[in-house]
Amino acid sequence: MLRSLHDLRKYTLSATDGNIGSVTDFYFDDESWVVRYLVVDTDPWLMGRTVLISPISIGRPDFMERDLPVTLSKDQIRQSPDVNAHRPVSRQMESGYAGYYGYQSYWTGAGLWWGGIYPNAGYGYGGGESGWLPLEQRRQMSSGYLRDLADHHARDDVHLRSSNAVTGYHILATDGELGHVDGFLIDEDTWAIRFLIVNTSNWWVGQQVLVAPEWIERISWSDSVVTLAISRDTVRSAPPYKAGQVIERTQEPALFAHYGRTGFWKPGESRVRA
């Protein structure tokens, strides 16, 4: 099922021993279009300090109670590396963060998350009911690997973007202005961004539609413009999206078919997590 990032900002974040704060932003990878971090304001608990929480650390959300359980204690979060939310996140910082929590790096391997499609595909996950291995054990497992990785990737370009900053970007179709980015829908299992919510009020009053990142031709980050490889007429006849609408995975093939696009899934593949 797909969830709106805007709605998830209203959820409570609960560590294993109490609430830790509220989500103020999401950092996503502009190459793979996957949410890598939740930006959390810990005020008043840590006097307004901002921390990053990876989806790796998020347990099974309770959508009825609007709760995002974090598989970390408040003390573990308190001692985590400091983050300046107003500056770009460096690869060295990410390596230090992963090393502190004993997590595998997401930027290696062929999958969305290291070698798989789910956030808990990296080192240190025991699976089943046991969940994550103890913190010190995870750190021992990953320390040497991450130290070598940090040196090797020290000069990498980091492709993290703020969902807050990209919301409002102008969108162009192949034949003119279309509207602006109004939000994002993510896969609740993988944290991959499946659709951008497009508000067409700049051109066609009172309509929101969904477009997939795969249909983007280019993005000018300096000009805050997203250019799509589809026409305005195609978008005009697309199924409308209503704020708060729940999109089931069974609805996605029809949407892709309307745009004449192939889905991100393989034919006959079950996309429901076991």
Q: Which domains does the chain have, with CATH numbers?
A: 2-161 (2.30.30.240), 167-258 (2.30.30.240)
- On whether the CB atoms of residues 198 and 235 are closer than 8 A, the answer is yes
Calpha distance 58→47 (Å, rounded): 23
Token representation of residue 143? 């320390």
Q: What is the pTM of this model?
A: 0.85
Three-point CA angle 58, 63, 67, nearest 5°: 50
Query: If DSSP codes are grouped into helix, strand and coil, which group holds residue 15?
Result: strand
Specify the pLDDT at position 191: 95
Instruction: Give the C-alpha separation, 208 to 228, whole Å.
Output: 16
CA atoms of 62 and 140, how far apart (whole Å): 31
Q: pLDDT tens digits, residue range 99-155?
A: 888 887 888 777 888 778 888 765 555 554 446 556 665 666 555 555 555 555 556
Q: Per-residue pLDDT for 96 more than 70? A: yes
225-271 pLDDT, tens per residue?
Answer: 999 999 998 988 888 898 877 787 777 888 888 888 877 655 444 33
Helix (H) or strand (E) holding 94: helix 91-101
What whole-number percentage of the chain has pLDDT above 90? 41
Residues 6+ apart with CB under 8 A from 239: 209, 210, 254, 255, 258
pLDDT number for residue 135: 64
Residue 19 CB neighbour total at 10 angstroms: 14
pLDDT band at 83 (very low <50, low <70, confident <90, very high): confident
Taking only the tens place, the pLDDT of each residue in 168-221 is 999 999 999 989 999 999 999 999 999 999 999 877 776 899 999 999 999 999
